[in-house]
Structure 1
């Protein structure tokens, strides 16, 4: 431990900030539609609540297609180059989104935006896996996961202000241009592996290369001892992969059902303007950063990845349930939402650390992409489900539908192998 403490930490200064800034922009461009919906786009384009939910969620249908190819390209070729091309694609599509005038145009752009962004997440996870050993990866994942919270904290007030003072179309145009400028940060900061980084000291490079090599060799040996073959046919029949997909689906139903309807929920709950809604919507994400670090710390310390995947799901579900019960008391309900924020982003940081524990090296990038692709069906279901249930029964029951999915996910984690609990 003392020797590790003396190793330079330049990887934390280059890799983590670059991945956080990148994902802030991707998250902003997929979520800004929530402010456009609450700020007049739904009325101008003549969208029902159900169709608005469909438009918000359709992103995640397109999102599925590049998950596996993106993970494969990142692990076997270049994550840096792959992500560079996607930045150009999603920035351009976001700008175009500001010029839609018809329902079908919006649906097509949302699908294409999801398609272009689809490979970014597994590619980033590959980069993190290439740079951080097992005793650091939980914290590295947790720090990266703050990007979605930081995106909301930074961009929600701006989005609300633009919509209230200008027009929802300018929201897409301005934020799309900002995404294109991201190239200027991404290219100089990121390298695919420690071997390629000129800014890395020899001491840190040697430590990372040797440590990561030993971990991969150890994982391969364990797989051989347990007679687990590096076969995609066998992997597709692996019950643990499908269990992870179900768990991830439950988490994404809750997360994106909540995220994409939060401005509308707050506007209905507080009866305030869009600028105020933008500021209020940041508070659950501020508390979520605390939750990310706490969960990441204890997940690394105990190595009980299973528990620290289940706990945030259960906490999130119970919090939403209490918020809906007390919806007649505006500020009590909102206060519960803020506390619930401790759990809304912390599940994935522990969840993704279980993949290398259950699958052989060489397949990790593609398996992560496959799980993320099918798991993100929940990201489509969540917004669409809330829109449909809200249209029929009201927003309180829309929240209840998310509660059920989150609690189911927490229960399903208990069926994962004992080694995911550190046993």
Structure 2
């Protein structure tokens, strides 16, 4: 019965989660293409303001993560994501309409506010539907919306900008989120007990399994206790440093490539997509083996070290060889994305359900803070030095520190697999 249940959950819920997160990522990452095209000239945006605009999204994202997650946990993740879809689609479309830089500042901040609840709400949503043995892969199929979207968005945005300009790119790419809100509302349920497409036996089997897993986790009374725990604090700073590398890379890769000789916006789009092919392969493979072995730590920190070494290699190569530097950037991109599934499986396995959603939101909010710092400082370093070497060093150091904090945070955590109530196998 549980095997039948598992099959129905995979094909019913994960495509919906994937599309939803894909649309969220589309409407945050296409700003890099607008910035690399004529947007800066049309709105008279100087390099310093461009860095601020790139990073303002993450400031809004940082402040509203935890309140959104608490609402999703206590009330409804379904309702929260529904309204977020409509609002972020509208704000993304408004980016293509405005002609005032002050309006763009407000839009970028509000876009971060609206999208801030999506990631923790979706992770919480999946934790109610998938067991520990499945969770890394389930998280990966959600987060795959990130690299897959950037892959096709990079190509599509290049062509759209060339064909209809940056304004229509934002308008056309913002509309699908508003349309998808209707399908999201009709197709998902907050909890297994609410699902009409499950039989009573299937609902009971899944509920029993999830409750059995909770018995092996030490109780935590409230969010305050959870937020003060060593593992949550260390993983918060770890994810902030990791996100410096990821979003310094995501937001500025189009501009880095566009600076190469004989590079137009269409070529930039195609080349920007390449690192995300490796990212997709890495994410699927790593999540599969993490779930199969029920190990998390070993599938996180080594990839962050590889990413750090690849950025350092790009620094050493410098502008002398564009293609060698580009290959190293491909490796860095793939390595940074690969561990997402195992990483976000950790918290629901070491903290009980009553606080796990808030803890994931706190960690993700620190990731947003790191994203703000990464997007801003990488842009600042590129503009002030006239090259990319300093930003490569900055991202390499951030990823290396993130790998070290991973080892410290998970040194003595409870593991992924519950052996029996009250007893837990060491990770």
Partners in 1 of 2:216 and 2:316 — Cα distance?
50
Which residue, 35, 38, 42 being the options, matches 1:37? Answer: 35
The counterpart of 1:352, out of the listed 339, 344, 350, is 344
Q: Distance in 2 between matches of 1:4 and 1:236?
A: 34
The question of 1:419 aligning with 2:413 is answered yes
Verify the 8 A CA contact 1:139 1:296 in the aligned structure 2: yes
Cα distance in 1 for residues equivalent to 2:262 and 2:201: 57
Q: CA distance change for structure 1 residues 386 and 420 in 2, over 3 Å: closer, same or farther?
A: farther
Q: Distance in 2 between matches of 1:150 and 1:167?
A: 23
Provide the secondary structure at the position in 2 that maps to 1:344: helix
Task: Choose the corresponding residue for 1:405, options 393, 398, 423.
Answer: 398
1:320 matched residue in structure 2 = 311
Alignment match, 2:283: 292
- The structure 1 segments of at least 4 consecutive aligned residues displaced by more than 6 Å after TM superposition are none
Q: Which residue of 1 aligns with 2:89?
A: 91
Q: Does 1:215 align with 2:206?
A: no
1:53 matched residue in structure 2: 51
Instruction: Flag the 1:139–1:8 CA change in 2: closer, same or farther, 3 A.
Output: closer
Residue 380 of structure 1 corresponds to 372
Kindly indicate whether the alpha-carbon contact (under 8 Å) linking 1:8 and 1:203 is maintained by their aligned counterparts in 2: no
Aligned to 1:311: 302
Q: Distance in 2 between matches of 1:7 and 1:60?
A: 38
5+ residue gaps, structure 1, are none
Residue in 1 aligned with 2:420? none
Alignment match, 1:266: 257
Residues in 2 aligned to 1:10 and 1:216: alpha-carbon distance in whole angstroms: 23
Mapping of residues 84-163 of structure 1, within 5 Å: 84-163=82-161
Match of 2:330 among 312, 324, 338: 338
Contact 2:246–2:333 under 8 Å retained in 1: no
- Post-superposition CA distance 1:165-195 (Å, at most 9, x none): 2211111111111221112331232111111
Alignment of 1:114-263 (within 5 A): 114-219=112-217, 223-224=218-219, 229-263=220-254
SS of structure 2 residue aligned to 1:131: coil
Distance 1:20 1:50, change over 3 A: same
TM-score (norm 1): 0.93
CA contact 2:133–2:294 (8 Å) conserved in 1: no
Instruction: Judge which range, 187-196 or 126-135, deviates more.
Output: 187-196
Offset at residue 99 of structure 1 (A): 1.8
Equivalent residue, structure 1, for 2:423: none
Root-mean-square deviation (CA), in Å? 1.8
Aligned to 1:395: 388
Specify the alignment match of 2:14 in structure 1.
Answer: 16
TM-superposed deviation, 1:31: 0.8
CA 1:197 to 1:4, structure 2 compared with 1: closer, same or farther past 3 Å? closer
Distance in 1 of aligned mates of 2:163 and 2:414: 50
Post-superposition CA distance 1:380-418 (Å, at most 9, x none): 000101111112222221122111111110111111232
Consecutive unaligned residues in structure 2, runs of 5 or more:
416-425
1:210 is displaced (CA, Å) by 1.4
So what's the TM-score if we normalise by structure 2?
Answer: 0.92
Aligned residues: 414
Assess if the C-alpha contact under 8 Å between 1:314 and 1:407 holds in 2: yes
Alignment match, 1:72: 70
SS at match of 1:132: coil
Query: Could you list the per-position Cα deviations for residues 303-345 of structure 1 after superposition, in whole angstroms to 9, with x for gaps in the alignment?
Result: 3312222122111121222233324212222222223332131
Q: 1:368 aligns to what?
A: 360
Question: C-alpha displacement at 1:59, in angstroms?
Answer: 0.2
